[in-house]
Amino acid sequence: MSVSYRQPGVVLTDRRFTVPLDHADPAGETIELYAREAVASDKADQDLPWLVYLQGGPGFGASRFIGRPAWFGRALKEYRVLLLDQRGTGASTPANRQTLPLRGGPAEQADYLTHFRADAIVRDCEAIRPHVTGGAPWTVLGQSFGGFCAVTYLSLAPEGLSTALITGGLPSLDAHADDVYRAAYPRIERKVAAHYARYPQDVERARRIADHLLTRDVVLPNGYRLTVEAFQSLGILLGGSEGSHRLHFLLEDAFVRTPGGAELSDSFQEQVQAQLSYAGQPLYALVHEATYGQDTRPTDWSAERVRAEFPRFDAAKALAGDEPLLFTGESVHPWVFDCDPALRPLRETAELLAARTDWTPLYDPARLAANEVPAAAAVYHDDMYVDTAHALTTARAIRGLRTWVTDEFEHDGVRAGGPRVLDRLLALARDEA
């Protein structure tokens, strides 16, 4: 039964759907999907076109909006919006350390998780679309990994789309994970340099914290082992519009005087564990590199292996000299399954996924080259999470796709830019700009 309720200016309806775990076996096991339908209060009785929003990630449920902020308010001016919790996330059938043992051991868990990539998400959308729209095609808005899913949608089921809108999420069609991270580390270093140029006092602060972690075993209140590599991964903040400022405020009060000497403050530790813990989104850690798997080559902890090609990211070497500590960015490493108590039970499962060699293709270059769906993409110049050169190569491979390349926003431009990003994409897709 669907349940409707109201927020200021919005009518919301909970929607639940049953879909096959494996769309190649429609009579087999099923899982549940949750989505929240939203419509402006003054349009609740109107027959509006639909827009389905695919959240970034992988592994994050759809945004829980209060009211009509950012792109959401703009979309509600002319669409009914479906905020889909992609399989395994949010209120959909969960996949985490508590539920995955129901599948069996690590091998069974890894097999199960192969069904949580972009191709399965697109098949889910096509399975529920007739129940939502009555069979009419809908507009997809894909942010980050949601944009990867939108490109898969254009490859597998373009007949389901009236328009495709992508923000910070044009993937390489053929790059291995190694190629992705070889392009990423220099980009991350530029973001760190920009942060230190803005906040030069953070150079010494970061070095002091790293030195403390290299000489002590620090366990955060939730049981997370804060190693220096884990501390460096706070650089993921630098990909967002407010991230540099947030990192600065985090670093400025890291230490407190105690009878035993300087220690990391409770406040600092609380903020760090909230940022680093994967308890709320374990799928991100489990299938992040699998989003790049498309052939017989294993991903094999690509970010960790490729990092060794960039020795400036070695904290011990930086501290031994006078180099600034480099933070890292959007990457998952094997040590996180030792550090994070939410992931420790899943270490062997993650190892099996990293070794897998039977990934199926996620994109169809021939179909993309013949695309007829109106499409537009925001490409953020020097996006820390998605390589600009890769994105533009893919843009040229999708027939009719129009791009807006801008350095006005970071990766979260669709949120930080209010209605402007969606406005621009809709104008491009409609050939009004």
Residue 22: active-site member: no
Q: At what angle do helices 177-198 and 388-397 cross, to 10 degrees?
A: 130
Asked if residues 376 and 401 have their Cβ atoms less than 8 Å apart, the reply is: yes
- Report d(CA 172, CA 281) in Å as an integer: 24
Does 130 sit behind a cis peptide bond, omega within 30 degrees of 0 on the bond before it?
no
Q: Which own/partner contact pairs does 317-322 have at CB distance under 8 Å and 24+ positions apart? A: 318/207, 318/210, 319/207, 319/210, 319/211, 319/214
By DSSP bridging, strand 138-143 and strand 161-167 are parallel
Distant-in-sequence, close-in-space partners of 298: CB < 8 Å, separation ≥ 6: 354, 355, 356, 357
Residue of 155, 387, 411, 412 marked active site: 411
- Report d(CA 400, CA 388) in Å as an integer: 19
Between the alpha carbon of residue 280 and those of residues 89, 94, 237, 343, the distances in Å are 9, 10, 17, 11
Q: 422: helix, coil or strand? A: helix
Asked if residues 116 and 362 have their Cβ atoms less than 8 Å apart, the reply is: no
Residue 144: active-site member: yes
Query: Residue 275 corresponds to which tokens in the numbers above?
Result: 């940022």
Query: Residue 217 corresponds to which tokens in the numbers above?
Result: 């075993």
Can you count the helices (H) and strands (E) in the chain? 18, 11
Amino acid at 55: Q
Query: Residue 59 corresponds to which tokens in the numbers above?
Result: 């592994």
Residue of 63, 92, 144, 277 marked active site: 144
Residue 358: active-site member: yes
Query: Residue 42 corresponds to which tokens in the numbers above?
Result: 């003054």
Between the alpha carbon of residue 138 and those of residues 16, 310, 420, the distances in Å are 18, 44, 21
Residues constituting the chain: 433
Asked if residues 85 and 62 have their Cβ atoms less than 8 Å apart, the reply is: yes
- Residues forming the active site: 144, 358, 411
